[in-house]
Amino acid sequence: MSSEAVNLGDGAVGRVGFIGLGNMGGPMCGHLAAAGFDVVAYDIERGALERAGAAGARTAGSAADCADGADAVITMLPAPPHVEAVLLGDAGVIASMRPGSIAIEMSTSSTAVGRRIVEAGAERGVAVLDAPVAGQSIGARAGTLAIYVGGERPVFERALPLLRAMGDPERIFLLGPNGSGYTVKLLLNLLWFIHSVASAEVLTVGVLAGVPLQRLHAALVGSPANSNFLERDVRSVLDAGDYDDAFPMRLVTKDLGLAIELARDVGLPVELSALVEQIHRRARATFGDDAGEISPFRLYEDLAGIKLRLPADS
CA–CA separation, 299 and 273 (whole Å): 18
Radius of gyration of the chain (CA): 21
Residues 6+ apart with CB under 8 A from 185: 108, 132, 133, 134, 148
Provide the 8-state DSSP code for 291: S
SS3 19: strand
185 is catalytic: yes
Count of H helices and E strands in the chain?
15, 9
180-208 and 213-221 helices cross at what angle (nearest 10)? 140
Q: Which amino acid is at 291?
A: A
HSE-up (13 A, CA, CB side) for residue 220 = 22
Q: Which amino acid is at 2?
A: S
User: How do the residues of the chain divide into helix, strand and coil, expressed in percent and rounded to 5?
Assistant: 55, 15, 30
Q: Which of 15, 31, 158, 185 is catalytic?
A: 185
Strands 133-134 and 72-75: unpaired
Provide the 8-state DSSP code for 29: H
CA–CA separation, 185 and 167 (whole Å): 15
Provide the 8-state DSSP code for 22: S
Residues 6+ apart with CB under 8 A from 272: 194
Residues forming the active site: 185
